[in-house]
Amino acid sequence: MVHYTTVATCALNQWALDFEGNYQRIRESILQAKALNARLRIGPELEIPGYGCYDHFLERDTVQHSWEVLGRLLEDRSLDNILIDTGMPVLHRNTRYNCRVIILNGKIVLIRPKMYMANDGLYREMRWFVGWTKQAQTEEFVLPRFIARMTGQRSVMFGDALVSTDDSCLGIELCEELFTPESPHIAMSLDGAEIIINSSGSHHELRKLKRRVDLITEATLKCGGIYLYSNQKGCDGDRMYYDGAAMVLVNGELLAMTSQFSIADVEVQVATVDLGAVRSFRAAIASRSMQAARAQTYPRAHAPFALSVELVDFDNSIRPTDPIPARYHTPAEEINMGPACWLWDYLRRSGQGGFFLPLSGGLDSCSTALIVHSMCRQVTAACKRGDQQVLHDVRQCVGAAAGPDYVPESAQELASHLFYTCYMGTENSSKETRARAAHLAKAIGSYHVDLNMDTVVSAIVALFTLVTARTPRYEVHGGSRAENLALQNIQARLRMLLAYLFAALLPWVRGRQRSVLVLGSANVDESLRGYFTKYDCSSADLNPIGSISKADLRKYVAYARDQMKLPVLDEFLEAMPSAELVPHSETYAQSDEVEMGMSYEELSVFGRLRKIEGCGPYSMVTHLLHIWGEKLTPREIADKVKRFFFYYSINRHKMTTITPAYHAETYSPDDNRFDLRPFLYNSSWTWQFKAVDDLIDRIEQRETSAK
């Protein structure tokens, strides 16, 4: 017969160290799950303190307050009659573990520590936690005394165990454990775990979601079973955006999934699944049964609770959840939604009144402006749906000027309150970029300022002339490279000063109480190459595109043109990328790609080979000889690679002060935690470049001999 049960998974917008807010969101998700008749609810990894506490995990207060929140959950009788999985740090025998805590009706059933730590890329879990190494073993954990008084339990089971209910069995794996070759769900399912629960703190990267879905699909297709995956969502105080997509799969089929990007704080997804279908699926595979017969036996912690109804209580009104296709966003859609949600979380949680963006008329600042526009669209839609949390937050950001009952009428109307843009022109700026900036500002509704700063630039140059009796000139006017670069940097750095000045005082000019955050708009390729001025407009409070390639940004702007109905964006797509920092004429116009000595497309290739493939100069040349060999000579390929590594190394120091950027790309050069490299290099790369030259000489000699 069928044994239906309804299970719930959650995507919660938790915030590091926000114990009160985190508790409220956890509680709300449990109540929503109960209202939907769920018998099991799982939540994200470390949902009680928030995943992104980082070195705060080393503080005893973080552990203490996590127990206090758990105590509130245990005491709350409205949370009874549902099996609850939650997460927090636990100190066991003076060792700190990242744990799942299973509770039922005011008692702790099991504390299950994470076994395999995420410790690459953006993750440093081994800095704060130790992995549990005793597979299928448990120990006694003595509860804090105030928790023991609440539960009437002196101690509970701690370790790698299954949770048995009156009618089924649950296995637990945490986030990274799914991605390991020897995932715990394999041994657990062979020992009879019919439901696997996975609580995760997994961040967004472009094109990453499919990997998660594929792994879980493969796990349940091979092992059979019900798999519940929960993930955090939102910005919890760092560069990462956790992208939700909590899901339920059964026997290789996806039944339910929350949204990947959303500004809602709590999302609960339920599915009604058949335990009997798992038993039939597994029993039909003889080879699986042979392995199960000799499988390792796990200890079991019993939860006196049934997930399904008994035969005598058979309810023919229950309807199973049908399979659905997985929904994967295109990279352009991901850029449109992820950074926008990240900006909204940062804005409302920082207590600021909006954003200020230097709008240059180029593609990069255009992309940043469009992401803010996307944020305004999402906020406006949520307000019209009646999302009370979003309404509260938007009224706090906009302030009293809009009135206590303010509801945004449109994305443009909201932007008029929250978004400031400014075109900062000089004699080197073109009328085309000025016009593009004004047209875009009008289309998205920002409060736009157009100014010329030549007098400020001239004042700086005049001061230098007064002190040194020398007047620097641009290279096109006969000046040296040093003069040319200094004159460009004056303009770039003054724009940073003016950005912060206007961000601080434009709200005051309009009678607003809150200051605004300055946004930057340097893309990942320019950061990798170092093609920006240190402490120019790339120096800001936040950069939503700092980990996105130029190629993906172009696709995003094209997407926004069509989906947001903004024909003005054609002007940006057709324009040549230019810094406009030197005089131009009918015969000369400054070009980014010409100045860099490489195209943005080539930069993306270099970036992926350097970071993802782990290539130095020699390995990169050998790789590209096979890829680019039909369009470039070996010498041309070697010269391009050497040019890249030279400029990368002399500009690496710029990454130590780069603006915090939304993490989206696997080859990001972010120096904070993702890409740990020196910032003082021997930029001649003597040994490496000699190896490259020797290789090219051998190839050219062989080709000459063949002729």
State both tokens at 5.
Answer: 């049960």
**Helix 600-611 × helix 634-651 angle, to 10°:** 80
Does 360 participate in catalysis according to the annotation?
yes
What is the number of alpha carbons within 13 Å of residue 523 lying toward its C-beta? 25
Does 53 participate in catalysis according to the annotation?
no
- Cα 262 from Cα 379, distance rounded (Å): 10
Q: Which of 29, 47, 53, 114 is catalytic?
A: 114
Does 585 participate in catalysis according to the annotation?
no
Does 10 participate in catalysis according to the annotation?
no
- Cα 177 from Cα 115, distance rounded (Å): 7
Chain centroid, CA 439 distance in Å: 31
Plot region of 478 (φ>0 → left; ψ -120 to 50 → alpha; else → beta): left
DSSP per-residue codes, 273-328: EEHHHHHHHHHT-HHHHHHHHTPPPPPEEE----SS--GGG--TT--PPPP-----
Residue 268 pairs in a beta bridge with 10
The bridge status of strand 169-174 relative to strand 195-200 is parallel
560-595 as b/e, with b when 16 or more CB fall inside 10 Å?
Answer: bbeebebebbebbeebebbbbbbbbeeeeebebbee
- Cα 30 from Cα 268, distance rounded (Å): 9
What is the number of alpha carbons within 13 Å of residue 356 lying toward its C-beta? 29
Chain centroid, CA 91 distance in Å: 29
Determine the length of the chain: 707
State both tokens at 348.
Answer: 């409302």
The identity of residue 672, as a single letter, is N
State both tokens at 691.
Answer: 């190896």
**344, 409 Cβ separation under 8 angstroms:** no
- Cα 254 from Cα 100, distance rounded (Å): 24
- Cα 126 from Cα 102, distance rounded (Å): 23
Using DSSP's 3-state secondary structure scheme, residue 694 falls into helix
Q: Which of 53, 99, 175, 615 is catalytic?
A: 175
Q: Which of 10, 45, 125, 365 is catalytic?
A: 45
Q: Which of 183, 360, 547, 649 is catalytic?
A: 360
**3, 167 Cβ separation under 8 angstroms:** yes
Using DSSP's 3-state secondary structure scheme, residue 293 falls into helix
State both tokens at 355.
Answer: 């954003």
- Cα 11 from Cα 154, distance rounded (Å): 32
Closest CA to 447 of 434, 438, 460: 438
Task: Give the active site residues.
Answer: 45, 114, 175, 360
